[in-house]
Amino acid sequence: MPLPLIFSCEHATCAVPEAFKEALAKDMDTITSAAGWDLGSLNLAQGMAMKFRTPLVHCEITRLIIDCYAQQNDPTCWSELSQKLSETQREKLVERQLLPHLNTLRQRISNELERSPRVLHISVHTFDPLAHPHTDVSLLFSEGKVGESTVALDWMKTLQEVMPELRIVPNVKFYPDQSKKLLDTLRSDWSSEQYLAIELQVSNQLFLENKPVRWDKLKVALIDSLKAVIY
């Protein structure tokens, strides 16, 4: 039986809700840069979700207003820009953005586990190559969880065989030590045998410049190599 998949994309857009545009009008250059969103991540996540015939769960607000990939009550939810917002505005953002996204994922996972003993959640991201110049693709996973690490390592091995020119590195350090993210929240809700979670990170240079391989070919390779692992 194929392993059911859930795809999410938390940094899909640099959109600013109308209510905040005046307060952040002078910050739009920052918001529309790679600091405000993961360029190409929505394109990649939509392509993968479509090929696996599963609805994509994604956020529709820039992470510089609220980062829905952070854990609830974690200070990293808020950027320097979001400090310009009132406490009431930030509370409403948690209620209207972070919690609905988290609860939608929880419901999707629960639904899948009613039909299958396991589910694989892939959170899709891109990164600035200046921050990690020696990496094209990274899969982030919990090395202490056998099922999760087996899928991730097999996926990387298969992708590397298809695209040997890619620099594929496991568990690149994108976050500070001890930092907890959305996937950690969800891992605490189910056993490691039931819920498998992988963060897919791809250099946005592939999206913007088709380097070192064409973006469309990378998407096909990611999909085909994942199919080979889960089917």
pLDDT tens digits along 34-49: 999 999 999 999 999 9
Q: What is the pTM of this model?
A: 0.97
Higher-pLDDT residue of 1 and 215 is 215
Residues 83-99: what's their mean pLDDT? 94
For 19, what's the count of Cα atoms within 13 Å in the CB-facing half-sphere?
10
Within 10 A of 216 (CB to CB), how many other CB atoms are there? 10
- Judge whether residue 178 has pLDDT over 80: no
Positive/negative CA dihedral, 41, 106, 80, 130: negative
* Closest residue by Cα to residue 171 from 124, 146, 137: 137
- Give the pLDDT confidence score for residue 37 in this predicted structure: 98
- Judge whether residue 229 has pLDDT over 80: yes
Q: Which CATH architecture has domain 5-230?
A: 3-Layer(aba) Sandwich (3.40)
